[in-house]
């Protein structure tokens, strides 16, 4: 004997292959079934199991995805979807990134045997917020999705870099072969950290720097850093600054024939140094021209001049002389 269930009256009955109709309603629409188990036989344990099945169904069961988003190392977002098989994620689901205008910024697909998408933040614009959504491949959004974290990610603005306005190189000490003071001037006020070579300090003033090539680094409290090259040239030992009496003596020696014009030129400055104004007559314009005329017996009176600080010789355009 086998157990049958009528599809019309839904009652169970016993029969065999020769059974032609349901004994309860006479219907011939029935099928073979397992033994009917009345609910009163199920008992408390079965009721608990049934309640759990109903609860799972109400909560969505395996078809209710749970998503989370976490920043990794400041450059990557990990987007993880749980409660869905990886194969189904690859075939049916996608992550859609929306910008602030609710336009699609990018679509991300699940690849490989994983429920994780690793998203490079460099594809986003600084200072912009983006929203993430889990959708089916046909574009329908998953309404029963539960996010364990926020669905929005805002890309921070990069810290503003400090700006070096200028680097002031102070006087050099030829005896010690150091620059006594180098000062870094910034465009804006604030607390900065300054680095030159092996020296790191909060003061913009560096002392006793040796000649050489350096890179100046300046960082602010936000961690933003800027840099600038610095060249401190080799320190030369300059002759003592010229005096008005020394220049006059050189001209007098040349005029008397006691010194050649070329030697006088080397002791004073380059012969192409311009005078303040040409000397009439003859229209003398350069120091060399005046020395050549002095070598022919002409006498000149030195009126004024300025020293070139890099050579301690006559500065071009500063020498004033006149005929005696």
Q: Of the candidates 100, 122, 154, which is a domain's last residue? A: 154
250 vs 52: which has the higher pLDDT:
250
Yes or no: say if 246 and 240 are a contact pair by the CB < 8 Å rule: no
Q: What angle do CA 189, 193, 198 make, to 5 degrees?
A: 145
pLDDT at 98: 94
What domain count does the chain have? 4
Q: What CATH number is attached to the domain comprising 23?
A: 2.20.28
Please list the residues that pair with 217 across neighbouring strands.
195, 227
Is residue 150 one of the residues assigned to a domain? yes
Is residue 237 one of the residues assigned to a domain? no
59 vs 126: which has the higher pLDDT:
126
Tell me what the mean pLDDT of segment 121-145 comes to: 88
Please check whether residues 133 and 96 belong to one and the same domain: yes
What is the span of the domain harbouring residue 16?
Answer: 2-59
Q: Could you tell me the pLDDT band of residue 7, with boundaries at 50, 70 and 90?
A: confident
Is residue 19 one of the residues assigned to a domain? yes
**CA torsion sign, 87 to 90 to 93 to 98?**
positive
Is residue 293 one of the residues assigned to a domain? yes
pLDDT digits (tens, 9 = 90+) for 230-270: 999 999 888 889 999 999 999 999 999 999 999 999 989 88
pLDDT digits (tens, 9 = 90+) for 179-189: 999 999 999 99
Is residue 239 one of the residues assigned to a domain? no
Question: Hey, is 32 helix, strand or coil?
Answer: strand
Please check whether residues 182 and 227 belong to one and the same domain: yes
Say which DSSP state 63 is in: G
Q: What CATH number is attached to the domain comprising 104?
A: 2.60.40.10
* DSSP per-residue letters across 274-295: EEEEEETTTTEEEHHHHHHHHT
Please check whether residues 169 and 106 belong to one and the same domain: no
pTM across the whole model: 0.42
pLDDT at 279: 83
Q: Of the candidates 13, 30, 59, which is a domain's last residue? A: 59
pLDDT digits (tens, 9 = 90+) for 62-110: 558 899 999 887 788 999 999 888 888 889 999 999 999 999 999 999 9
pLDDT digits (tens, 9 = 90+) for 189-217: 999 999 999 999 999 999 999 999 999 99
pLDDT at 57: 44
Q: Of the candidates 102, 136, 154, which is a domain's last residue? A: 154
**CA torsion sign, 101 to 104 to 105 to 109?**
positive
Distance between CA 225 and CA 263 in Å, rounded?
53
Please check whether residues 110 and 173 belong to one and the same domain: no
pLDDT at 45: 54
Q: Could you tell me the pLDDT band of residue 52, with boundaries at 50, 70 and 90?
A: very low
Q: Which residue has the tokens 């993430």?
A: 132
Is residue 238 one of the residues assigned to a domain? no
Please check whether residues 301 and 265 belong to one and the same domain: yes
Distance between CA 265 and CA 302 in Å, rounded?
15
Please check whether residues 82 and 105 belong to one and the same domain: yes
Helices (H), the chain: 39-59, 86-92, 244-256, 261-268, 287-294
């Amino acid at each position: 004997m086998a157990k049958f269930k009528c599809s019309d009256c839904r009652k169970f009955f016993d029969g065999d292959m020769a059974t032609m109709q349901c004994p309860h309603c006479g219907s011939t629409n029935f099928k073979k079934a397992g033994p009917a188990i009345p609910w009163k036989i199920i008992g408390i344990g079965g009721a608990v199991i049934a309640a759990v099945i109903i609860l799972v169904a109400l909560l969505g069961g395996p078809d209710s995805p749970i998503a989370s988003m976490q920043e990794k190392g400041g450059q990557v977002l990990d987007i993880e979807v749980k409660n869905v098989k990886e194969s189904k994620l690859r075939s049916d689901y996608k992550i859609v990134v929306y910008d602030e205008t609710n336009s699609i910024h990018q679509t991300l697909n699940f690849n490989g045997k994983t429920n994780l998408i690793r998203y490079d933040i460099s594809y986003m614009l600084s200072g912009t917020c983006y929203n993430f959504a889990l959708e089916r491949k046909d574009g329908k959004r998953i309404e029963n999705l539960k996010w364990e974290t926020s669905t929005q990610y805002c890309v921070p603005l990069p810290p503003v870099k400090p700006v070096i306005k200028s680097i002031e190189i102070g006087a050099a000490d030829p005896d010690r072969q150091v620059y006594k003071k180098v000062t870094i001037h910034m465009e804006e006020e604030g607390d900065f950290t300054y680095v030159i070579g092996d020296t790191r300090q909060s003061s913009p003033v560096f002392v006793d720097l040796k000649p050489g090539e350096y890179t100046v680094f300046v960082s602010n409290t936000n961690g933003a850093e800027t840099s600038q090259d610095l060249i401190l040239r080799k320190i030369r030992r300059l002759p003592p600054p010229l005096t008005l009496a020394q220049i006059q003596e050189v001209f007098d020696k040349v005029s008397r024939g006691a010194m050649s014009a070329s030697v006088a030129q080397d002791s004073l400055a380059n012969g192409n140094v311009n005078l303040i104004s040409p000397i009439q007559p003859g229209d003398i314009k350069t120091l060399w021209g005046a020395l050549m005329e002095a070598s022919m017996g002409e006498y000149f009176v030195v009126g004024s001049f300025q020293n070139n600080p890099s050579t301690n010789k006559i500065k071009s355009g500063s020498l004033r002389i006149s005929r005696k």
